[in-house]
Structure 1
Amino acid sequence: MTSAETTRRRVLGAGLGALAAVSAGCSGNSGPVRRLRLATGPEGGPYNAFGQALAQAVAASGHRIEIVPVSTAASVDNLRRLADGSVELALAMGDVAGDAVLGREPFPRPTAATALARVYVNYTHLLVPADGPVRSVGDLAGRPVAVGAPGSGVQVVAERLLRAAGLSGAPVSASAPTPAPAPAPTPVPVPTADERQLGLAASVDALREGSVAALFWSGGVPTPALADLARELPLRFLPLDAQAGVLRERYGPVYSPVTLPAGVYGLTEPVGTIGVGNYLLARADVPQGVVRDLLQVVFDRWRDLLREVTAGARLEPRFAISTGEVPLHPGAVTYYRSVYG
């Protein structure tokens, strides 16, 4: 368990003693409506669907909150908007959110983002035509690959997977180094994957047309666009369980082994892959009472929120608080204390 997780458990286990101290921050059912802009993702994508469903659920809740979904390029773009104050809420993949909080590439400095909940898990999909030559990640060398739209979380995980597979373009030695004083062997360039930055719809079209050899996607299961493609084109989903441990070692427990189940996308047997949590995030200056009211809606209506995003998912507090390096918003801490009792 990381130090962040230990601290989070300690805070949540402290009981309800601090609840009264912050109760003055409750939004209540009087006063002006608090308007919150939520950075989601491209129109037609899962983040956008979640954002639209959340806006409808909040509107029907009676709380004086209005959620305004904002279409974006997704995770990286969303964290940048959260940092510059153009939105108050955002959805992002856990690896990207952790990078933002720690100030790791592509973020030049730490971002003061806070987490409200881990709402569901993205499954990494790497699919190729079933009758094509690609049967492993290594076979992507020198081939065009759709790696997600610029500013998206799928692009981050795709690039990390390719880097872990040695397809990032860094030179490697052709053989083991010879003992001194003999000169070291000349490095041999590794053929790289030809990364094409395409959104999901464009990636599906490119794979269908044969202009890319493979498609990366990170999303719920099943993702409707991929399920539709699987009904018209025989596909192979490449296993990524071997890479899950590598990413976990390099980047932390935000990456976990998961399985695409048999039956989905027409799979005849399960396929091991990599899971990444999706976080609902907020600026730290969003009032605590507003956060508590919002989380009440999220947990009351999670079935509606996840229906169009991922099948079979269930949102529970013990799952939701696992946000890694991203600290929970104080209003979220208070909400979860009330749930734990």
Structure 2
Amino acid sequence: MTGFTRRTALALGAALAAPRLAHAQATQLAIATGTTGGVYYPLGGALANILSRNIPGLSATVEVTGGSVANNQLLGAGRVGMIFTQVDASVDAVRGEDRFRGRPVKVRAIAVLYTNRMQVVTTAATGINTMADLKGKRVSTGAPGSATEVMAFRLIEGAGLDREKDFRARERLSPAESTNAIKDGKLDAYFFVSGVPTSAVTDLGASPGITLKLVDHAEFVPKIVAKHGPVYFPEVIPAGTYPGQTTDNHQMSVANILAVLDTMPDEQVKKILEVTWGKRAELAQVHAEGRNFTLDKQKTAAAGVPWHPAAEAFWKAQGAQLG
């Protein structure tokens, strides 16, 4: 014990304190996703894991939220550092319109991910075959703070319906809650915007005694675009995407992006993209939509909001034709 000098004690104390100091200095990155019944949440969990494992000193965590509108609000308030979001919600945030009136957010795109598809979900037993058939029915227009709610309201208006007067009841439920409500006979239809397939709709289609039906609505896209701009476009959910889905569903889509504030340091954005792009196969293993994170998707028009400068430089270096 005579060799245990004051210098040795100080060195030992510093060594023991080093892990605590390193932990204290770790960069925290909260990623806002969505409800647990959608696609943002599992992809966000995978992304947080990838970033935490591959960027020294970074600890990424996932936040369950109402969805895109809430995510842009949280980003603007500085409560999260990165978000999954639909383009339409971020366009409103940048412009300070709709839910962001008087409170614009300097949202910047760092990657275009995959397409989000509006799904108007019901069952054969309800007799709902068209958007007009929703009149007098019990519907859910999505969780509060979700882009589903914004897009549902725009579709309802485009279809010539009044969201305040034309429904017997209008709930604001998550997709999982909506599926359970249909199973329990408390709801006739619900709106949900997500990648496909999504677990809540799959669950409904696989339920015994239930025949899933998705309502066509692509015909209303031109009217909606005329009012809200070219962020929406028609697509098709192929028959067989969900259990019991026997016909193609002609619907309205919008792109998804990963976004940050304009103040995120260039080097951090570059590291996030290097790791995310390099490990994109891991995202595809978590959900099929991860396979749609591709170089050709990286278009300025699809991003909808300005690129973060470091992201724009990254994608150009990868050979993306941003347009």
Provide the TM-score with structure 2 as the length reference.
0.84
Q: Which has the higher contact order (CA 8 A, sep 6+)?
A: 1
How far the C-alpha of 1:53 sits from its partner, in A, is 0.3
Structure 1 unaligned runs (5+)?
1-31, 171-189
- Structure 2: how far apart are the matches of 1:229 and 1:108? 37
Identify the match of residue 267 of structure 1 among 240, 245, 253. 245
How far the C-alpha of 1:286 sits from its partner, in A, is 1.0
Contact in 2 for aligned 1:74/1:153 (Cα 8 Å): yes
CA-to-aligned-CA distance 1:293-339 (integer Å, 9 cap, x gap): 11112212223224444448422233133444410011101211211
**Greater radius of gyration (CA):** 2
Q: Which amino acid aligns with 1:250?
A: K
Identify the match of residue 257 of structure 1 among 228, 234, 246. 234
Contact in 2 for aligned 1:39/1:89 (Cα 8 Å): yes
Contact in 2 for aligned 1:303/1:314 (Cα 8 Å): no
How far the C-alpha of 1:107 sits from its partner, in A, is 0.7
Identify the match of residue 244 of structure 1 among 192, 209, 221. 221
Contact in 2 for aligned 1:167/1:193 (Cα 8 Å): no
- Structure 2: how far apart are the matches of 1:294 and 1:169? 41
2:47 maps to 54
1:159-170 aligned within 5 A: 159-168=153-162
Contact in 1 for aligned 2:221/2:233 (Cα 8 Å): yes
Larger deviation, residues 240-249 vs 273-282: 240-249
Q: Does 1:327 align with 2:294?
A: no
Identify the match of residue 286 of structure 1 among 264, 270, 293. 264
Contact in 2 for aligned 1:168/1:193 (Cα 8 Å): no
2:188 maps to 213
- Structure 2: how far apart are the matches of 1:316 and 1:202? 32
2:30 maps to 37
Q: Which amino acid aligns with 1:333?
A: E
2:77 maps to 84
- SS of the counterpart of 1:60? helix
- Structure 1: how far apart are the matches of 2:53 and 2:271? 13
CA-to-aligned-CA distance 1:239-290 (integer Å, 9 cap, x gap): 1111222222221221111111122113223211111111111011111111
- Structure 1: how far apart are the matches of 2:308 and 2:148? 25
2:275 maps to 297
- Structure 2: how far apart are the matches of 1:191 and 1:338? 51
Q: Which amino acid aligns with 2:319?
A: Y
- Structure 2: how far apart are the matches of 1:92 and 1:86? 15
- Structure 2: how far apart are the matches of 1:98 and 1:104? 8
- Structure 2: how far apart are the matches of 1:44 and 1:264? 16
Identify the match of residue 202 of structure 2 among 227, 245, 249. 227
Aligned residues: 291
Provide the TM-score with structure 1 as the length reference.
0.80
Identify the match of residue 91 of structure 2 among 93, 98, 103. 98
- SS of the counterpart of 2:132? helix
- Structure 1: how far apart are the matches of 2:148 and 2:188? 17
- C-alpha distance 121-316 of structure 1, shift in aligned 2 (>3 A): same
Moved over 6 A (4+): none
- Structure 2: how far apart are the matches of 1:335 and 1:193? 50
The structure carrying a bigger helix percent of its residues is 2
